[in-house]
Amino acid sequence: MAWRFWGAILVVLAGPTAAQPAWTPPDASEWQQFQRRYMAPEGRIVDTANGGISHSEGQGYGMFFATHFGDRPAFERLWRWTRLNLSRPTDSLHAWRYTPHGAFGVQDTNNATDGDLYIAWALLRAAERWNEPEWHRSAARIAHDVLACCVRRQRGHTLLLPGAHGFERPDGIVVNLSYYAFPVLRALSRIAPDPAWAELERDGLALMRTAAFGRWHLPPDWLLIPASGAAPSPAAGWPPRFSWDALRVPLNLAWQRFDAPTTQAALQFWDYPGHAHRPPAWVELRSNSIAPYPGHSGVQAVHMFLRLRHGASAPQAPGVARAPDYYAAAVGLQARIAYTMAPEPPAELPATAAATPRRSWIGDVLHAAGSYFATEEHEHAPPAGPSARPTMSGVRRTGAMP
């Protein structure tokens, strides 16, 4: 018998009320616009702002959209391309980055946990929608491997690694709070029951309360959880900003209808009438300096979504055609879908302690070595060490330029 975890929930907001101006749900034409702009015929989602590369994140988003809009052929193309091009030889996770030009293909087999979470969630939803047991099994395998590779305990806290390698440093663990997609964590607990899902939610929410920096009390894109037990701080190696990544923190919270302090902080920041450009694209959390240009349509959509969640009025969010690039379009579409989706029920826990074993550090070393030797000619050898995935910060999230 599974028991349900309730403790982490702060306040569950009611859904849209009659007094609130309702957003119309995005229709199939929005998905069609997204496909024409960003989904190559073979099923590759193109990050148009980053040299046409692709990510597991984009594939996961695309698969989620295809399922949401009931487009099974598109879903199958996306999943097939993802499986054929991003699969890793040693587990069920996916290489995070694919380059179509120059250094072609997958150059770094490290995964991106948000991408794997979305791929698994989309597979689960597709399996349920179209009654495909194999997709269900694939989702479960990914969920188990996320738990095995990307969940760590540090000083009694359960943390979600942004990728299997490169985020455990001598000074602590680097996390990306925007990877805590709460509806996804809850949904995956149904197919890979494990106490870790609820722990991730509980500790993730606690981290978000702590990670409140600068005048606006906002989380940074990348956060260091010091091994010493000191307070978390913006991670070195990335600009200490609330920007393109952290934008998804309030989105994920509001999606699950959590009224956490972060959503209120983000709303106050974006609503502030004194900004030269509203909503601003980002804020530097140490200096409090504000971007000299407005946020793209994805920022605008999340801003409006938060306003609606808090009972304020908001115009219809910008559609896909108004987005300057893939990321803005994807985040905007997510916000509009999130507004109409029912929240996921709390994470399920196994009745018995048959949880997925976490890897120890030695397990990781052996895993990395195994991957290396299993890869002929060492073309896809996963790099080891904390600098294994430096390029994640190199992914440029562009906004509307001034």
Told to check if 40 binds another protein by CB under 8 A, we report yes
Select the residue interacting with another protein from 8, 9, 46, 314 (CB under 8 A). Answer: 46
| Residue 85 vs 393, nearer CB to another protein | 85
- Tell me which amino acid residue 397 is: R
Interatomic CA distance for residues 149 and 173, integer angstroms = 14
Told to check if 74 binds another protein by CB under 8 A, we report no
How many residues lie near another protein (CB under 8 A)? Answer: 30
Options 42-50, 194-202, 246-254, 310-318: segment touching another protein (CB under 8 A): 42-50
Each residue 76-115 as x (binds another protein by CB under 8 A) or -, in order, gives -----x--xx--------------xxx-xx----------
Each residue 347-366 as x (binds another protein by CB under 8 A) or -, in order, gives --------------------
Can you tell me whether residue 224 is helix, strand or coil? Answer: strand
- CA 78 to chain centroid, in Å, comes to 18
| Residue 46 vs 196, nearer CB to another protein | 46
| Candidate list 47, 57, 168, 348, residue with the active-site label | 57
Select the residue interacting with another protein from 36, 153, 155, 209 (CB under 8 A). Answer: 36
Select the residue interacting with another protein from 183, 195, 324, 343 (CB under 8 A). Answer: 324
CB 381 within 8 A of CB 372: yes
Task: Please report how the helices 182-189 and 113-130 are oriented relative to each other, as an axis angle in degrees rounded to 10.
Answer: 60
| Residue 90 vs 398, nearer CB to another protein | 398
Considering only CA atoms, give the Rg of the chain.
20
Phi and psi at residue 269, to the nearest 5°: -65, -50
Q: How far is the CB of 87 from another protein (least distance, A)?
A: 9
Q: How far is the CB of 266 from another protein (least distance, A)?
A: 26
CB 109 within 8 A of CB 394: no
Told to check if 73 binds another protein by CB under 8 A, we report no
Question: Six-digit token pair at 178?
Answer: 């925007």
| Residue 105 vs 357, nearer CB to another protein | 105
Q: How far is the CB of 246 from another protein (least distance, A)?
A: 23
Told to check if 378 binds another protein by CB under 8 A, we report no
Q: How far is the CB of 115 from another protein (least distance, A)?
A: 17
Short-list 318, 294, 330, 332, CA closest to 37? 330
Told to check if 227 binds another protein by CB under 8 A, we report no
Select the residue interacting with another protein from 13, 16, 52, 72 (CB under 8 A). Answer: 52
- CA 377 to chain centroid, in Å, comes to 33
Phi and psi at residue 149, to the nearest 5°: -100, -25
Burial 267-294 (b: 16+ CB within 10 A, else e): bebbeeeeeeeebbbbbbbeeeebbeeb
Indicate if 114 belongs to the active site: yes
| Residue 104 vs 361, nearer CB to another protein | 104
Q: Which of residues 304-323 bind another protein (CB under 8 A)?
A: 321
Select the residue interacting with another protein from 41, 170, 274, 394 (CB under 8 A). Answer: 41
Interatomic CA distance for residues 136 and 122, integer angstroms = 10
Strands 233-234 and 157-160: unpaired
| Candidate list 114, 116, 221, 284, residue with the active-site label | 114
Looking at beta carbons, which pairs linking 275-284 to residues 24 or more positions away fall under 8 Å? 277/402, 279/303, 281/243, 281/399, 281/400, 282/241, 282/242, 282/243, 282/244, 282/399, 283/214, 283/215, 283/216, 283/218, 283/241, 283/242, 283/243, 284/214, 284/239, 284/240, 284/241
- Which active-site residues does the annotation give? 57, 114
Residues that bind another protein (CB under 8 A): 35-42, 44, 46, 48-52, 81, 84-85, 100-102, 104-105, 321, 324-325, 376-377, 379, 398
